[in-house]
Amino acid sequence: MSIVFPQGFLWGAATAAFQVEGATDVDGRTDSIWDTFCRVPGKVVDGHTGEPGADHYRRFEQDVRLMADLGLGAYRFSIAWPRVRPDGGAVNQAGLDFYKRLVDTLLQYGIEPWPTLYHWDLPQKLEDTGGWAARDTPYRFADYAASVVEALGDRVATWTTMNEPWCSAFLGYAAGLHAPGRTDPVAAAAAAHHLLLGHGLATQAIRAAQPRARVGITLNMYPVIPANPQDPDDVDVARRIDGIQQRIFLDPLLRRRYPNDLLVDLEPFGFTGVIRAADMDIISAPIDLLGVNYYSEYYVSSAPGVTGPSPWVGVSQLSFPRRDMPRTDMDWEVRPEGLRSVLMRLHLEYPRLPLYITENGAAYQDVVSPDGIEDHDRAAYLASHLWSAHSAIEAGVDLRGYFCWSLLDNFEWAEGYAKRFGIVHVDYETQVRTPKLSARWFARVARGNALVAVS
């Protein structure tokens, strides 16, 4: 039996610059906040860094051929701000040239380039002057976006401004689990607004340079489920987390305002003080598509549990009770139905626009044998989520494409290289790439535009 996707459905795979490129000190690139963060003992498992990554900077041609072999229609990658404008300053032609080569190679193989302008690698110099907590940073981001679009706008049709601003703002500035490693909820709230402003200003810059471009942003979405729906405290925790996880981005982008309950929740953190009236028009300027990254659900309770700095600013009592269900190597629950649920929510509660799943995938402990990597668990994860996505399409959701995370095993942020998300295995010693069973299966799905059994 096969489940057919709409004609023209886009099949792709995703990576991000700092996670795969390596080559962090060549051709004029300077430090990003992640280079700095990796040097702080204890921040990244086993003290790993962006080196060697998957050496994509030097091996991109081989990787593009691999994508072509897998029948992918699009490649979602990110552009490194510290390559293009080292230290956040003047344009560095050598940095731009790398992305020109990458984009040209993709086009040569008939693969659509899907660049993201910001996937967390803020130039360290800009963090030194306040980072995303400072109002100047969104303006620097727009300058950087303009220089990228000027260089690549003749070759790229679709731009994503930001990837998962929630992680940048709240993991980076409130919980300290991501770069820049700050634990300052006031800065985190300001960063959330400034990331949105950066998106809006970059959208203006893209449209000015390339009027026919398609522009979007990618958010990481989770259904938030109260452990006990009869318990008002659990329900309230779920509401607050939903506010700070997704409505804080969705509502200004798509409804031109922050939700009232969120404004009340964030009042102690000076949130309204950073918002200027004119910002809301900039942030809510129409976009052409929304990217959704989906991995799991949040199952939350108001019982005390989480200690220490939390990314859910203003949520003081919170725990994540364990449910008896399969989990990935990240310890994330496998919840394919949650993907349908976030897509349906967007469809029913927000102004409609084309949706793309810009990330979905799973880390598992792969067993490398002479016969290859038979990652049935990862393929089953992808298949169940595609099934769920398809059911959303059948219910009327305008879902136009799916990018699996990730093309390659890579640097999983604070987890270093310990977690493998790739459908293609990377041996970090030799840099040999080996498509896993999941890649071979995904290629059949992409080629046939239909879900087929994992085998």
Q: One of 21, 112, 297, 359 is an active-site residue; which one?
A: 359
Please, which residues bridge with residue 226 across strands?
A: 300
- Which among 67, 132, 75, 130 has a CA at the least distance from the CA of 99? 75
Contact flags string 11-50 toward ligand IFM, x per CB under 6 A: -----x--x-------------------------------
Nearer to ligand IFM, 16 or 392 (CB): 16
For ligand IFM, how many residues bind (rule: CB under 6 A)? Answer: 8
Kindly report the CA angle at 71 between 67 and 74, in degrees rounded to 5?
65
359 flagged as catalytic: yes
Q: Which of 81, 402, 405, 442 binds ligand IFM (CB under 6 A)?
A: 405
**Contact of 422 with 373, CB cutoff 8 Å:** no
Nearer to ligand IFM, 31 or 164 (CB): 164
CB of residue 249 to ligand IFM, shortest distance in Å: 15
CB of residue 344 to ligand IFM, shortest distance in Å: 21
> Residues with Cβ < 8 Å from 168, sequence gap 6 or more?
118, 120, 122, 132, 162, 178, 191, 195
Q: Which residue is nearest to ligand IFM (CB)?
A: 16
**Subset of residues 148 to 207 that bind ligand IFM, contact rule: CB under 6 A:** 164
Whole-angstrom CA distances from 214 to 74, 159, 165, 307 are 15, 6, 19, 42
Calculated CA dihedral for residues 362, 367, 373, 377, nearest 10 degrees: -40
For residue 102, state whether it binds ligand IFM (rule: CB under 6 A). Answer: no
Q: Which two tokens stand for residue 318?
A: 């919170």
Nearer to ligand IFM, 37 or 421 (CB): 421
Q: What b/e readout covers 157-180, taking b as 16+ CB neighbours within 10 angstroms?
A: ebbbbbbbbbbbbbbbbbbbbbbb
164 flagged as catalytic: yes
For residue 342, state whether it binds ligand IFM (rule: CB under 6 A). Answer: no
**Subset of residues 423 to 442 that bind ligand IFM, contact rule: CB under 6 A:** none
Nearer to ligand IFM, 263 or 330 (CB): 330
Spatial separation of the C-alpha atoms in residues 391 and 383, rounded to whole Å: 12
- Which among 243, 280, 239 has a CA at the least distance from the CA of 263? 243
Contact flags string 269-308 toward ligand IFM, x per CB under 6 A: ------------------------x---------------
Nearer to ligand IFM, 16 or 389 (CB): 16
Spatial separation of the C-alpha atoms in residues 263 and 338, rounded to whole Å: 27
* Residues of the shown chain interacting with ligand IFM in the complex, contacts defined by CB under 6 A: 16, 19, 164, 293, 359, 405, 412, 421
Catalytic residues: 164, 359
